[in-house]
Amino acid sequence: MMGNSDNRRLFGTDGIRGTANTAPMTPEMALKLGQAAGLMFTRGSHRHRVIIGKDTRLSGYMLEPALTAGFCSAGMNVTLAGPLPTPAIAMLTRSLRLDLGVVISASHNPFEDNGIKLFGPDGAKLSDEAEAEIEALMGQDLSGRLAGPEHLGRASRLVDAAGRYIEAAKFSLPRGLRLDGLRIVLDCAHGAAYKVAPAALFELGAEVIALGVSPDGFNINRESGSTAPRQLCEAVLEHGADIGIALDGDADRVILADERGEIIDGDQILGLIARDMAEAGTLRGGSIVATVMSNLGLERFLARRGIDLIRTKVGDRYVAEVMREKGINLGGEQSGHVILSDFATTGDGLVAALQVLSVLVRSGKRASEACRMFAPLPQLLRNVRYAGASPLALPHIKTAIADASTQLGTKGRVLIRASGTEPLIRVMAEGEDAAQIHAIVDSLCGTIALATAEAAE
């Protein structure tokens, strides 16, 4: 069982997130965040610079100028990139030698929510410790530390941001490899990749049937994208496509559909890329990194090929941290975050999809054949909402979890954790017996729900 044990209150698993124009996701908070982060990342005498990107949510128009004002008041110059995928901002932060990168996005959440993610000069998401330091600064009176009138920052737009990212994504393919002859359905979830992803695939020679490319500020992730792939699957069958690609709102994750309209999740994608890299001799460390949520089937598939699976707690930035610590160049999550550190510092849905397309082109196989690495073990995940304190600390809840783990033994596992972004307890079990897994999850959810109800009385 893993959970958040640090003292951050604003920052969760993936930055700060909440309902737009409601605490904490307000312009006042964004202003303070810009000031605090700007001061923290002012190191040296050079003119410091930050880049801000966003997805297509209406509330981005509210948060972007507030952040800009905060950074300018801290003496930082601000580069505005407009709607771009999260990995594009991470890439630009590093390639332009900036001091900080910011993405305004709530990823796969509905339009009502928004969030703010921060990237350091190396293009990596900030550590828990760095976020805690920024949060502490936000609670202080910073007026005496802000820039004087002659040292205020300026704001400008980066007009070629999209083109830079498209070329970087294309560079991840083997030299000379093209996608000519591939018919691809691409669902951009009306999100940040609605221009760059179709353009990249088209430039590489693919026939692209684009969905989710008409953002209006309200429709991001609505019945589309990686968390709602039904229309992707239907469109693949309707158009006789070779493969379907679904990105989420900020395009840091990807889910695929084969030519039969059947889903290929992040674990299968990780397995495919790991095998391909291992055969090419480019998989560093003989290992990949994934979270506690990845299926046991993936772990067993990799083990048969001499590849270790190192697990972290949920969150792609924790995966990235372990990858950097151990010198590993592939990691990700079942949800579709795939990090290829030879090309990106964070999850990149487009780059991951291109690696799969590369395998299809080089092998000549259909997606249904090339992308099915293993038969996943039955896995069931349910959420239990709670109010107040997390019920996971209660003794009888701990006992119930231990009993469930004992039942499964070495043939499965139980994972209970608190969500990093919502007041939810996530209950997951997997094993070889589907009926047993359902019974265990039902029992644990019932026990946790009862404890929550009793605590509320």
For residue 107, indicate whether it is catalytic. Answer: yes
Long-range contacts at 228-231 (CB < 8 A, ≥ 24 apart): 229/187, 229/255, 229/257, 229/263, 231/187
Pairing of strands 243-247, 183-187: parallel
Rounded to an integer, what distance in angstroms lies between the CA atom of residue 391 and that of residue 397? Answer: 7
151 burial type by CB count under 10 A (0-12 exposed, 13-18 middle, 19+ buried): exposed
Pairing of strands 77-83, 254-257: unpaired
Pick the closest to residue 169 from 51, 329, 343, 341 (CA basis).
343
10 to 138, 236, 270, 272, 313: CA distances (angstroms): 10, 41, 31, 37, 19
Rounded to an integer, what distance in angstroms lies between the CA atom of residue 419 and that of residue 315? Answer: 10
CA angle in degrees (0–180, nearest 5) for 379-250-256: 45
Pick the closest to residue 184 from 254, 83, 273, 85 (CA basis).
254
Catalytically annotated residue among 59, 73, 107, 390: 107
3-state SS string over 216-243? Answer: CCCCCCCCCCCCCCHHHHHHHHHHCCCE
Rounded to an integer, what distance in angstroms lies between the CA atom of residue 144 and that of residue 243? Answer: 57
Structure tokens at 443: 């029992």
Pick the closest to residue 162 from 55, 77, 88 (CA basis).
88
- What is the secondary structure of 80-140 as a DSSP string? EEEE--HHHHHHHHHHTT-SEEEEE--TTS-TTEEEEEEE-TTSPBPPHHHHHHHHHHHTS
The residues annotated as belonging to the active site are: 107
